[in-house]
Structure 1
Amino acid sequence: MSFESVKVHFKQWNREQDIMEFETSSATVELAAEAIGVIPARIAKTLSFRGDEEKAILIVAAGDAKIDNKKFRQTFGFKARMLNPDEVLEQTGHAIGGVCPFGLANDLDVCLDVSMKRFHTLFPACGSSNSAIELAIDELFQYSFAKGWVDVCKGWQEAEREEKLAQHSI
């Protein structure tokens, strides 16, 4: 059902045929990166948090980014509390491992983290634990009906710096 709702979602842009399905699991950032053949940072992971009034907030971030609780509280005005697997399924219509900002069961606020802006394309899941789609950053914004960009993650800047240093020393 979840995978099908994502396919229907992408039909409005004639992109449903671009969804990739894998023989192996892509349920984690590492597994998805391995299945696709990209670095983990290029996996666009969707994190589900308790929002105001029983409605979840989805944050889509680069695969190497982690939520910074202080930045989250400053941005949204409340503590970052992730949903449990049952709540994720109820709110999004997607099970853990396939959560994405497409084909959602409810009208949820989706925010994109700036950690993804360093890439031209990223690979979010498509509602199942063995699917993904390659999207340009502006397509991800458009197709997810994102409310806007936020800066609520940490860890990715360090990885980016190390990557640049390694490139210069070659």
Structure 2
Amino acid sequence: MTPGINAACKAGVTHNIHEYDHDPASAGYGNEAAEKMGVNPTRVFKTLVVTVDGKTLAVGVVPVTAMLSMKLIAKAAGGKKASMADPQEVQRRTGYVLGGVSPLGQKNRLKTFIDASAEAFETIYVSAGRRGLEIELSPGDLAQLTGGRFAQLQQE
């Protein structure tokens, strides 16, 4: 069990756990997850941590098929600029290793924004807290558990 799975269990939300053999040589964790689980990649979401205005960390949850727009996540977070957060700070603040960062059960709960495309699906997949482990749950439950908001986050 990971903190992400424990958070879903504790909240009593309906979810499914999907495990697959992660290939350490894989460059794209999310695309690998979609392929190995046999799931449409538009339903598999990656968790990206950014620094907003050089001081605040925020989480963007976007489809693995998309690029996170720094301008749009900064705007959603009430800032002007965003950039990818320092990997060591991400690991320290979330408690997860890169490639396995879950939006759920983070050591320090960060402001979370979920791409609005998630609302089109009954369930989506996000990292459960380690490489090779995904949790499937409804977008609404993900928003509730993370305190997240839906926003347009994809780069055009």
Shorter-chain TM-score range: 0.7 to 0.9
Considering fraction of residues, name the structure with more helix.
1
Query: How far apart in 1 are the matches of 2:86 and 2:141?
Result: 29
Consecutive unaligned residues of structure 2, counting only runs of 5 or more, are: none
Structure 1 counterpart of 2:79: 77
Aligned length: 152
Distance 1:48 1:22, change over 3 A: same
Query: How far apart in 2 are the matches of 1:17 and 1:115?
Result: 19
Percent of pairs with identical residues: 28
What is the CA deviation profile of residues 51-110 of structure 1, one whole-angstrom value per residue up to 9, with x for unaligned ones?
A: 368441001112222122333344332212111321110121111111111110102111
The partner residue of 1:128 within 122, 127, 130 is 130
The partner residue of 1:95 within 80, 94, 97 is 97
Output aligned runs, 1:41-120, within 5 Å. Answer: 41-51=42-52, 54-75=55-76, 76-120=78-122
Distance 1:14 1:73, change over 3 A: closer
Considering fraction of residues, name the structure with more strand.
2
Query: How far apart in 2 are the matches of 1:102 and 1:32?
Result: 18
Structure 1 counterpart of 2:33: 32
Q: CA RMSD in A?
A: 2.4
Q: Which has the larger radius of gyration?
A: 1
Which stretch shows the higher mean deviation, 92-101 or 111-120?
Answer: 111-120
Distance 1:83 1:73, change over 3 A: closer
**Structure 1 residue 18, shift from structure 2 partner:** 2.9
Query: How far apart in 2 are the matches of 1:15 and 1:43?
Result: 19
Query: Could you tell me the TM-score, scaled by structure 2's length?
Result: 0.83
Query: Could you tell me the TM-score, scaled by structure 1's length?
Result: 0.77
**Structure 1 residue 142, shift from structure 2 partner:** 1.7
